[in-house]
Structures are given as structure tokens and as C-alpha cells.
């Protein structure tokens, strides 16, 4: 009766060992995430596995020693759940059988260390339901991680000292005048600004970028100091969303930044 309601011990051990097939794995994960009894038992199995993995000698264990170790581990563990106590006997048998089978396979150590790592994760979270959530979150985490990496790459590239910045014109002129380029989305509040041929600002000063709104006073959009080649970039400064811009401007301000422009605009565009 119990076995039809709950996951059989053998399957829980397989689950803990990570030797289940994908279809079984998702079915069991779904059950474990909802069932306290199976979750508790799995937690105890994982802890026992981890303990066993850490003390398991690599050389051949004398006959009987493994069984003695297993009983010691099981009797020493605080099996609070009645459900677990009732099944301790069969657990010892199945676990030692599984271990013997395992130790004959080419990579028992890899699996054992995997079980140890998993047990540590479980002990940290103290809630096996999380493993289900973690599995579901993994693709999302991977996506965020890769997007963050890409953004960081873009950031490094735009701010890099060795990036070559070329402005293209219909008729290229020999005089390189200071120039700024803005890419701005009011709906997302995202802005990317790049500048070229900017002279170095006076000592203690820096350039400040402004969004000139349709209504109201200029909104600060980041400080920048050009590199030796006169190139600079401001990437994703803090700007309120839905700020309709009528234009953009650059002034020279104190290096710490200023809440309002205090000098003449050196670059502007609409």
C-alpha cells in the first residue's frame, strides 16, 4: 500500500545516485517536490551516501566491513521519521547491494562525489523541493549569465582604450572635430553614448552628458573622461524611463558630477 503511494526505496536510492533515466527522473522529482515523507527519506539517503562516500576507502574492503560500516552509519543517523525507521533494514540491504554493484563500474568515485555535492546542496537548502526549482531555473540562469557576459563584453569594447572609433561622413574632412553619438530609447530608459576627438578636460573636471527633455530642465546622464585618443563612452546611465528627449548635450563640470549644467554646452544634438 505504502509502496504504491510513495516512491520505492530502491528508486529513491537510484535518484540520489543520479542513475535514473530522464523520464523517471522528472516523475520522481515531481513527487518529491510535493511529498514530505519521500523528501525526508531522500534527504537521509543523501546524507548517508555522502557520509559513505567520504569514508569509502579506495582499496578493497574486507568482507563484512562494508556491511558493518553501513549499519553503523544507519544506526548513527538520527532517523526521526517513523517511515524511515520502519524501512532501515531494507535500506541497508539495498544500499550495500547498490554500492557493491557500483564499485564494479568504471567510475564509482565520480558518482560518489556527485552524490556528496548534491547532499551538500540539499543540506544547505534543507528543502529538496528546491532541486526541482533549481532544475527549472537553470536555463534561465544560463541565459542571464550569457547575456551579462555579452553586455560586459560590449561595455569593455565601447570603453576600451584601444578601440578604433571612426565616424563616417559623405565627404571625410581632415580636421577631426569633437563628435558625439547617442543611441537612446525613452521607453526603456537605455542610453549608449560614444564620443571621439574630445580634448582632455581641465584638471579636476570631466564631461557630463545631459538628456534635454521636451519639458523641464536637463537630466544628468553620466560623466565621462576621454582616453588619450579622445574617445569616450557612457553606457546605460541611470535615466528615468519614459523621459521624452528633445536633444542631448555635453558640458564640462566638476569631476564628481553636477545635478545641473553650470557651463556652456560643448556638444549638442537633436
Binding site for Zn ion (CB under 5 A): 6, 35, 37-38
Helix (H, G, I), strand (E, B) or coil at 121: helix
Nearest to 98 by CA among 139, 48, 161: 48
- CB-wise, 35 or 265, nearer to Zn ion? 35
- Residue 39 CB, nearest distance to Zn ion (Å)? 8
Segment holding 191, helix H or strand E = strand 190-196
- CB-wise, 8 or 189, nearer to Zn ion? 8
- CB-wise, 40 or 227, nearer to Zn ion? 40
- CB-wise, 127 or 145, nearer to Zn ion? 127
Given a contact cutoff of 8 angstroms between Cβ atoms, the answer to whether 61 and 96 are in contact is no
- Residue 137 CB, nearest distance to Zn ion (Å)? 23
Given a contact cutoff of 8 angstroms between Cβ atoms, the answer to whether 84 and 44 are in contact is yes
Cα four-point dihedral sign 268, 227, 219, 187 = positive
- CB-wise, 119 or 128, nearer to Zn ion? 128
- Residue 5 CB, nearest distance to Zn ion (Å)? 6
Q: Calculate the alpha carbon distances from 14 to 33, 100, 128, 220 in Å.
A: 17, 14, 16, 59
Nearest to 204 by CA among 252, 136, 150, 134: 252
- Residue 2 CB, nearest distance to Zn ion (Å)? 9
- Find the radius of gyration of the CA atoms of the chain: 32
- Residue 47 CB, nearest distance to Zn ion (Å)? 18
Amino acid at each position: 500500500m505504502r509502496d504504491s503511494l510513495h516512491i520505492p526505496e530502491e528508486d529513491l536510492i537510484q535518484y540520489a545516485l543520479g542513475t535514473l533515466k530522464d523520464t523517471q527522473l522528472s516523475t520522481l522529482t515531481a513527487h518529491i517536490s510535493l511529498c514530505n515523507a519521500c523528501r525526508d527519506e531522500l534527504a537521509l539517503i543523501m546524507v548517508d551516501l555522502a557520509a559513505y562516500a567520504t569514508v569509502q576507502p579506495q582499496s578493497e574492503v574486507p568482507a563484512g566491513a562494508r556491511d558493518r560500516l553501513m549499519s553503523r552509519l544507519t544506526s548513527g543517523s538520527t532517523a526521526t521519521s517513523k517511515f524511515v525507521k520502519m524501512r532501515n533494514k531494507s535500506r541497508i540491504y539495498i544500499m550495500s547491494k547498490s554500492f557493491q554493484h557500483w564499485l564494479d563500474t568504471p567510475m564509482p568515485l565520480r558518482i560518489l562525489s556527485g552524490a556528496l555535492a548534491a547532499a551538500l546542496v540539499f543540506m544547505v537548502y534543507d528543502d529538496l523541493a528546491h532541486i526541482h526549482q533549481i532544475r527549472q531555473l537553470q536555463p534561465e540562469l544560463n541565459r542571464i549569465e550569457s547575456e551579462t557576459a555579452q553586455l560586459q563584453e560590449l561595455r569593455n569594447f565601447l570603453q576600451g582604450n584601444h578601440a578604433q572609433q571612426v565616424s563616417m561622413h559623405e565627404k571625410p574632412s581632415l580636421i577631426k572635430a569633437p563628435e558625439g553619438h547617442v543611441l537612446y530609447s525613452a521607453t526603456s530608459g537605455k542610453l549608449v553614448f560614444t564620443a571621439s576627438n574630445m580634448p582632455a578636460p581641465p584638471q579636476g573636471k570631466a564631461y557630463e552628458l545631459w538628456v534635454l527633455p521636451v519639458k523641464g530642465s536637463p537630466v544628468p546622464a553620466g560623466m565621462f573622461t576621454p582616453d588619450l585618443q579622445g574617445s569616450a563612452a557612457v553606457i546605460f546611465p541611470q535615466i528615468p524611463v519614459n523621459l521624452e528627449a528633445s536633444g542631448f548635450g555635453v558640458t564640462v563640470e566638476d569631476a564628481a558630477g553636477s545635478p545641473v549644467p553650470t557651463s556652456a554646452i560643448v556638444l549638442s544634438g537633436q
